Amino acid sequence: EIICEHLDQDTCAYAVASTGKRCVLEKHVKRSGEEEYTCRTSEIEADKINNWIETDQCVKSCGLDRKSFGISSDSLLESRFTEMLCSPQCYNGCPNVIDLYFNLAAGEGIFLPKLCEAQKGNIRRGMSEIWSSGMVAPGPVGGVKFWGVAPAMAPY
């Protein structure tokens, strides 16, 4: 049984608790300046995935970082990241990661399979084609960010 609050900083990011809710890594800075990492349960539910710690292979194949403190849809505009996310190793072998980014892209009105198809060409041209095709609904003006829960207050 996976409980986010019991995970360390090397397994927290991209993990899914037994409840199906995603885990999120948080950084707290103590008054001494020392950094402390904690893992918390977010309110974001994974689709049909639970009790999951992402493999190091998927983290590497998908171009992810275990020390990430939230993800942004802005990363979908970075051609190197999208190339790794859309690679067969990631797209076909890492369903948890693809579920997360599929939903993040959808929040921007982007259909991830179409983005991956467009990625084979120039990413910016591909994004332009996706937006101008009328096949997506307009998303929020700024990037969508997933932060999970708010950071804790510093100890007194």
User: Do residues 15 and 53 touch, judged by C-beta distance below 8 A?
Assistant: yes
Residue 152 lies in a domain: no
Number of H helices, E strands in the chain: 6, 4
Give whole-number Cα distances, 5 to 9, 16, 105, 113, in Å.
10, 11, 27, 33
Sequence-distant (≥ 6) Cβ neighbours of residue 9 within 8 angstroms: 25, 37, 39, 66, 67
In this structure, which amino acid lies at residue 110? I
Q: 35 has which bridge partners?
A: 29
Residue 16 lies in a domain: yes
In a shared domain, residues 60 and 129: yes
Containing structural domain, residue 33:
1-53
In a shared domain, residues 26 and 93: no
In a shared domain, residues 64 and 118: yes
Residue 155 lies in a domain: no
In a shared domain, residues 76 and 140: yes
SS3 percent helix, strand, coil of the chain, rounded to 5, is 35, 15, 45
pTM: 0.72
User: Do residues 145 and 70 touch, judged by C-beta distance below 8 A?
Assistant: yes
Return per-residue pLDDT of the chain as tens, 156 residues: 999 999 999 999 999 999 999 999 998 898 999 988 999 999 999 988 999 999 999 999 999 998 877 778 888 889 899 999 999 999 999 999 999 999 999 999 999 999 999 887 654 554 555 445 544 544 444 444 444 444 455 454
